[in-house]
Structure 1
Amino acid sequence: MFQRLAVKKGAVVRDKTEVVDVTKQGDDGSILVKASNGEEFRGAKCVVTVGAWTSKLVKSVTGTDLPVQPLRTLLCYWKAKKPGDGFTAESGFPTFGSYGDPIVYVTPSMEHPGLIKIAMHGGTPCDADDARDDAVLPAHVETAGGPVRRVPCMYSMTPDEDFVIDFLGGEFGKDVVVGAGFSGHGFKMAPAVGRILAEMAMDGEARTAAEAGVELGFFRIGRFVDNPKGNLKDSAADDA
């Protein structure tokens, strides 16, 4: 849906196009993005949202170690024993989570009619370039009969599980913006985050967020400098 709307607004979507480099050109200050297939894209601004590959790309472009760890996980879909038991959004079945150990979340039957998504938040560290089809279910889930559909996926997890929304800085200044580390819970906020990233790239500031009183400093890259836990350190101080 998001892709269709973007195309309707004039965006050009290039599927299966791997970005391998981002540089700032000295002649006109434009941003040059290079793909592994030899294609090049040039523009005045750039927004980097490469998910689990963020650390690799940022490291190769700036030499900065951005702590965004890819995690291999599984989305699990289960079949109700009695079809039509009311597990649909139309019937009022909610999306909810159980914040135990592990965290389990549930969504109604939507993308796969007749199936309910019941999955665990989190996963195992992995390399983003590794195959994603070897994630396995914990034994206690297998003994429950197992899901009827398994979809391998990757999180891009920060140490504090908070987003990274910031200018890349350095030679790029405010011409390159990074949106990353959404830690398994960012998609539902994509419209708002997309507006923020677009305004930062185009105008150098997120006016909409500022008008709403949203403090974006919470998502700065600099929170990890001399503090590997990021915002967790601030939370511990507040609790004390």
Structure 2
Amino acid sequence: MRTQVRENLFDSLTRALQKGDVALVQALGDKIHPQEILEHWDDLPGEHQYVLLTYLDAEAAAQIFSELDPEDQAEFLETLPPWRVRQILEELDPDDLTDALQAVEEEDPRLARQLKEWLDPKTRAEVEALSAYDEDDAGGLMTPEYVAVRAGMTVDEVLQFLRRAAPDAETVYYLYVLDDEGHLVGVLSLRDLIVADPSMRVAEIMNPDVIHVTTGTDQEEVARVMADYDLTVVPVTDDA
């Protein structure tokens, strides 16, 4: 029954697109998960794809955009209204944003420079840093958005910190422990944190044996490491 309801919603969305009823498209778009739209994406005419990326909620549009082929991303960044391009760029995670801008740069370096100028200084710096790595290596796949804590922090201090940091972190379920020089010295899961005594120190509950890859590790090797150790995320380190 639930599947039938979803299919009916998408059928209604398709009819709204055919009629050019933007208000209805927006209303129906709020009820349909972006992944469901992606399942039908290749069956939609280009003009309907354009309408969806223009008028859906910015977060949903960015989620759909991030799953598109780089060539399609570049085309949409060239053709979507500037106000919507800005919104999508703001919603993208740094690694997805970097991939999209690199795709644009191959087609239109001038536009790529303009889009980078729209970014806030912090995001622009992250994009420049990620752009320095080959896209097939771990450095080109990684995100700078992770949660780092110190070994001397208490569990209670970390939980308070997470309440502020979590909304901007992709990898909140795993926390990485760094020393004063920024070296990776341990890892702990959110579950470890929740069940620990609030007064305990991170050093007492962290796992110091951290599986990791380097910025130059090929993506196939990264996938093998993650599969072998049953990891959903893996930290990436450089020579320092």
| Same fold flag (TM > 0.5) | no
Which structure is higher in RCO with an 8 Å CA cutoff and minimum separation 6? Answer: 1
What TM-score, normalized to structure 2? 0.29
What TM-score, normalized to structure 1? 0.29
More helix by share: 2
More strand by share: 1
